[in-house]
Amino acid sequence: MDTVIKRKNSKKKLLLALPILIVLGYLIFVSVTKKRSFNVKKAEITVKTVSSDFFEDFILFQAKVTPLHSMLVNVIEGGAVQEIYVENGDLVTKGQPLVRLYNPNTELTYMQQETSIIEQINNLNKAKLDLRNQELNLAKDLIAIEHDFLDAKNLYDLNKKLFEQEIIARNEWTVTQENYRFQKERMDIIKQSVTKEKQANKIQIGQLNQSIGIMNQSLSILRKNKNNFLITAPLSGRLSSFEPILGKTFTQGNSIGTIDVMKGYKLVADVDEFYLNKVAEGQTGSVDHNGKTIKIQISKVISEVKNGRFIVELNFMEKEDLELNQGISFGVRINLSEKTKTKVLSKGSFYQETSGKWIFVVNGNKAVRRTIKLGRENPLYYEVLEGLESGDKVITSSYKDYENIEELNIEE
């Protein structure tokens, strides 16, 4: 026998669930549309006021005093330190010995090269002497031939008269004529040969002299290089960065010290690469020294970036003696623009999280997120372009803990 099952009333359940669905929907809507807030202590934040003030685009960095001119003392011939004649910080004069190095292998090589060059010079001089002797022998032969020719000519002149007077026979006159012709042609040929030999020898001797000259220059350079083991001061000045130790080996091309010319100073600074496109030669600035502001000017910008920094050199515009000491540091201020009246905001850590695109504006005990636009900056201020007015109070401390928060509740 079948059992009759009663149906539940679905409409009644729907009516009961509807209020619950409405409440849940409202809660979801409120949670989605409600501003995300965060409670902060007043002592934990920094509040600054936007003001209308003169803005000047400038940068600050540290620079060290260095001599205006200096020169490295380089090692020309490597070797171990054998003798030291001066100390770091001494005043030296040009050509004064500083240190002597020693390298037995190089010394032996120099001796072998010197012996070889001297041997070559001797061989060339011997070749010259042989050519001179050859010319001398040709000159002796020519004198003998000319003597034979004169004898033949005298006999020719004599026999000619005797033959005309019919004193000597024709056959004797014919022999005389033939001998005279032979001696004359012989002398002419020998003279031509001697002339050509002298011309050829002259060319060869010139070439030998040129080779000997080159060999002598090589020998002079070699002997001069032997003296490179004695390192001398290339100019007069104060010796710095000079720390040789007996027995320490320096290789060729290494620097063993620096000589600073004590005639004027300049400033050298390592500047952050962020300012690379902002600084240029000719820009002016100032430093403070003994309570006095001294004008300076950028003389050179070395744009090669190493470890995130580049080098800037600056000259003092003052002509008077500033009584500076090498190595002291100055805080340098470089002006990048003229002063202009605008809205400014003190710099703060908030920029690291916002990149200057938004900021918390304080209103009573709350701070609300607002979109802004910043312009130029200097070590003290940002230039405000949009989003803030003079008198607005803003939080400039770090936003690290509430980057995604839209409203801050400031508690005492």
| Dist CA 159 CA 176 (whole Å) | 7
Residue 54 near residue 378 (C-beta atoms within 8 A): no
How is the chain split into domains, by residue range? Answer: 37-57+339-411, 60-96+240-335, 105-227
pLDDT band of 14, cuts 50, 70, 90 = low
Q: Mean pLDDT, to the nearest integer, of 297-318?
A: 89
pLDDT above 70 for 28: no
Please report the pLDDT score of residue 359 as a whole number.
92
In our burial notation (b when 16+ CB lie closer than 10 A, e otherwise), range 368-398 reads ebeebebebbbeebbbbeebbeeebbbbbeb
CATH code of the domain made up of 105-227? 1.10.287
The DSSP code sequence of 144-208 is HHHHHHHHHHHHHHHHHHHHHTT-S-HHHHHHHHHHHHHHHHHHHHHHHHHHHHHHHHHHHHHHH
pLDDT band of 27, cuts 50, 70, 90 = low
Please report the pLDDT score of residue 329 as a whole number.
85
Is pTM, for the whole model, over 0.85? no
Give the pLDDT confidence of 226-238 residue by residue, as tens digits: 788 888 998 888 8
Please report the pLDDT score of residue 12 as a whole number.
58
Please report the pLDDT score of residue 205 as a whole number.
82
pLDDT band of 21, cuts 50, 70, 90 = low
The DSSP code sequence of 278-317 is T--TT-EEEEEETTEEEEEEEEEEEEEEETTEEEEEEEE-
Superfamily of domain 60-96+240-335: Efflux pump adaptor protein, beta barrel domain (2.40.30.170)
pLDDT band of 132, cuts 50, 70, 90 = confident
Please report the pLDDT score of residue 32 as a whole number.
47
Beta bridge partners of 306: 309
The DSSP code sequence of 340-362 is EEEEEEE--THHHHHTTSEEEEE
Q: HSE-up of 380 (CA within 13 Å, CB side)?
A: 10
**Tokens at residue 380, please?**
């003290």
**Tokens at residue 137, please?**
């022998």
37-57+339-411: which CATH topology?
2.40.420
pLDDT band of 40, cuts 50, 70, 90 = confident
Torsion of CA 196, 198, 200, 201, to 10 degrees: 160
Give the pLDDT confidence of 368-393 residue by residue, as tens digits: 999 999 988 888 889 999 999 999 99
